[in-house]
Homo-oligomer: A and B are copies of this chain.
């Protein structure tokens, strides 16, 4: 394990910088004295785009590539045309660094309220494919702006791309106590992509006889996510379905203020990127209302990815304890970060 971590930090827009500051605070506090945390900030996002028209110049991407990992706050602002920063920055990073595992754990922490009635038992993780599907950008339109316009979007799915993420998900399921993996797709309508996913799932599953498997159409999966979330342990799904069900999963497990995510290339050939699931929330930027917990939990995923398992567990435990002992008092972004930093250090 390297005794230094070189981190590319992309604070981004809105509440991004505020929550990233807390993530870094906790990282510094949890790492052993002899591990040097080197950070370099990259000024990317809406402000940069307004000032220069740039989203992510190649030279900057090459510099980011040299780091061990990326910590990202949030990207996006209503003043920027929809799609510009998503395609030009966020998805560009995910695709360039081959982040084929988008890892999104869902857990109902103590004292957090789910919009679901009762006391649902939620502890699952979604393995979302990150480099294929309708996210590839293989679309186009003809006769734009006329009554004869046709706009297409192509979902591209390869055996290579599907197999590696399915295999990753099986390995993660195998390592968990329940050892259960659910494939979510829509193979009764998207028959070509669906069959590739299902066939691959069935074939790779033979290598993991201890893992029990299940298949759900994406529409049915949304039903179970609100009526019986306890049925899920690990879910593997494509890029678009993963986008949709992880927001729903975050909502039922206490809100996107707590939802962490990692865009991972398990080979470590490229820097993986860790970011909260939530957006830039420009309406509350600067008010101290943003909950940095999702970013702190994303930092824990980052630590785990780089091999700092014990430290990752301390961060997770600190969040759990912090939420369990949270008094009724409303705390600022900074206060939550401070409290978590104190906990992980002790």
- Chain A interface residues (CB < 8 Å from chain B): 76, 82-83, 86-87, 91, 113-118, 134-135, 137, 139-141, 143, 145-160, 163, 186-196, 198-199, 218-220, 222-223, 225-227, 240, 243-248, 250-252, 255-256
Cβ-neighbour of A153 out of B91, B141, B193 (below 8 A): B193
Output the nearest chain B residue to A223 by Cβ-Cβ distance.
B251
Nearest chain B CB to A49 CB, angstrom units: 14
Q: Kindly list chain B residues whose C-beta atoms are within 8 Å of the C-beta of A143.
A: 159
Q: Kindly list chain B residues whose C-beta atoms are within 8 Å of the C-beta of A186.
A: 240, 243
Pair B222/A192 contact, Cβ less than 8 Å: no
Nearest chain B CB to A239 CB, angstrom units: 9
Nearest chain B CB to A256 CB, angstrom units: 7
- Bound state CA distance, A125 and B181, in angstroms? 34
Pair B115/A192 contact, Cβ less than 8 Å: no
Known: A134-B155, A135-B189, A218-B244. A160 touches B145 (CB 8 A): no
- Bound state CA distance, A271 and B189, in angstroms? 23
Known: A146-B159, A152-B156, A159-B148. A223 touches B247 (CB 8 A): yes
Output the nearest chain B residue to A148 by Cβ-Cβ distance.
B159
- Bound state CA distance, A273 and B201, in angstroms? 35
Known: A116-B226, A251-B223. A157 touches B152 (CB 8 A): yes
Nearest chain B CB to A144 CB, angstrom units: 8
